[in-house]
Amino acid sequence: MLNKPDAGDGIQPRLICDDRQHCPKSKVGEKTDVVRRRGTSPASTSMLDLLKGNTMNRDTDWFAQCGWGVFCHYLTSAETSAEEWNARVDAFDVKGLAEQLRTAGASYFFITLGQGSGHYCAPNATYDRISGIRPSKCARRDLISDLHRELHPLGIELMVYVPADGSFADREARKRLKMPVHWNDGPVDWEQASQWVQFRWVEYMRNWEAICRDWSLRWQNKVRGWWIDGCYHADIRYPEREEPNFRSFAVALRAGNRDALVAFNPGVLTPVICHTEHEDYTAGEVATALPVCPGPWVEKHGHRARYHVLSYLGENWCKGPPRFPEELVVGYTKHVTSKGGVVTWDVPIRKSGLIPEEFMEQLIILGKHGLGKA
């Protein structure tokens, strides 16, 4: 996805990764869009149990029964102070958003924990310890827990977005997290495998797994799924036979809930693929193409992942105006859900935490067609 400094109240995001020159591409031979940046169990489950079950086929039926849901990028710029960020998160209207999602008939909701700026919408003591940032840019308010408190009684599941390269635009935090270089630092030849060796940040990845484990243990079964962005060139950056990799990352994400669903995003690709045997559903990021759904599953090496597509209703990620007529939104959602797949629609969100009215109109129309669970 795009790295979006601010998605609220008409402030336009800076498109850091918005063209072929600065965006990773698919492997040679794969048809692709332009790649852009964009169930429960007790927390006492042993690490051995987690490791044994990490590639098992988890229950995704509940996700398929949801049919469709909503995604919002709640972000800010690297220049935002900790005080300003806390004030914004404190003002987030969770009751108002929950009522909007109920009115629309959405069965689940995704929200970003953060992205490149180094700001996160929930506390994380592990991040604070490793990064050494004072005052912390992890919000005092646990927005995820507060969202769950309002959404759960309404039957709306909560899922979260986490980047695989969190805080890349915060130079101070990045240094202490052990990320020496990032592809947004300067020109990179995305087709040259040798260029991607520098982005296998072993120390950073271990630190980031520990940070994500902290969040997972905090929320346990409140979070039903994780969507991990920026998992490009996996064969080099996440080698199957050497940790840290997708296996160890998934274990960290499921530390608090072994039944949590996980997806790792390879970038914008059509057709939608299963990126790794350690994911339960496809990240499915698409932009200018809406691919044909082949059925409920996509397979890799005998492992099947639930077919899922994520795209935006606005003109780009987290900004408007709406780009599709309602007939297309309903028709495409019906196409995917009728085959056992799942569709997530990204919409803008204001600083207040509310969805703009023009997008509520489309979501309400979508909900009236009964494409998800009652």
One-character DSSP codes across 192-253: -HHHHGGG--HHHHHHHHHHHHHHHHHHGGG--EEEEE---SHHHHS-TTSSSSHHHHHHHH
Q: What is the pLDDT of residues 283-305, one digit of tens each?
A: 999 999 999 999 999 999 999 99
Beta bridge partners of 311: 345
Per-residue tens of pLDDT for the chain, all 374 residues:
654 333 333 323 323 332 222 233 333 223 333 333 333 333 334 444 444 445 567 999 999 999 999 999 999 999 999 999 999 999 999 999 999 999 999 999 999 999 999 999 999 999 999 999 999 999 999 999 999 999 999 999 999 999 999 999 999 999 999 999 999 998 888 878 889 999 999 999 999 999 999 999 999 999 999 999 999 999 999 999 999 999 999 999 999 999 999 999 999 999 999 999 999 999 999 999 999 999 999 999 999 999 999 999 999 999 989 999 999 999 999 999 999 999 999 999 999 999 999 999 999 999 998 776 64
For the chain, the structural domain boundaries read 20-368
| Closest-CA residue to 283 (of 372, 147, 169, 162) | 162
Instruction: Report the distance separating Cα 332 and Cα 343, nearest Å.
Output: 9
Query: Is the peptide bond between 321 and the residue preceding it cis, with omega within 30 degrees of 0?
Result: yes
Do residues 336 and 352 make contact, with C-beta atoms less than 8 angstroms apart? no
Alpha helices in the chain (DSSP H): 47-52, 61-66, 82-90, 94-104, 125-131, 143-151, 171-177, 193-196, 202-219, 234-237, 246-253, 326-337, 357-368
Fold of the 20-368 domain? TIM Barrel (3.20.20)
Beta bridge partners of 345: 70, 311
Query: What sign has the CA pseudo-torsion 57, 219, 158, 13?
Result: negative
Residue 112: how many other CB atoms lie within 10 Å: 23
Q: What is the pLDDT of residues 360-374, one digit of tens each?
A: 999 999 999 877 664
Joined together, the tokens standing for residue 311 give 């795209």
Instruction: Report the distance separating Cα 316 and Cα 312, nearest Å.
Output: 6
pLDDT at 319: 92
Q: What is the pTM of this model?
A: 0.87
What mean pLDDT is reported for the chain?
88
| Closest-CA residue to 163 (of 212, 124, 218, 210) | 212
| Closest-CA residue to 222 (of 101, 115, 122, 351) | 122
Instruction: Report the distance separating Cα 347 and Cα 365, nearest Å.
Output: 14
pLDDT at 54: 52
Q: How far is CA 179 from CA 232, 301, 330, in A?
A: 16, 32, 42
Virtual CA dihedral for 116, 122, 126, 130, nearest 10 degrees?
40
Do residues 109 and 101 make contact, with C-beta atoms less than 8 angstroms apart? yes
Angle between helices 143-151 and 202-219 (to 10 degrees): 40
Distance of CA 1 to the CA centre of its chain: 9
Indicate the residue type of 232.
Answer: Y
| Closest-CA residue to 345 (of 23, 31, 113, 66) | 66
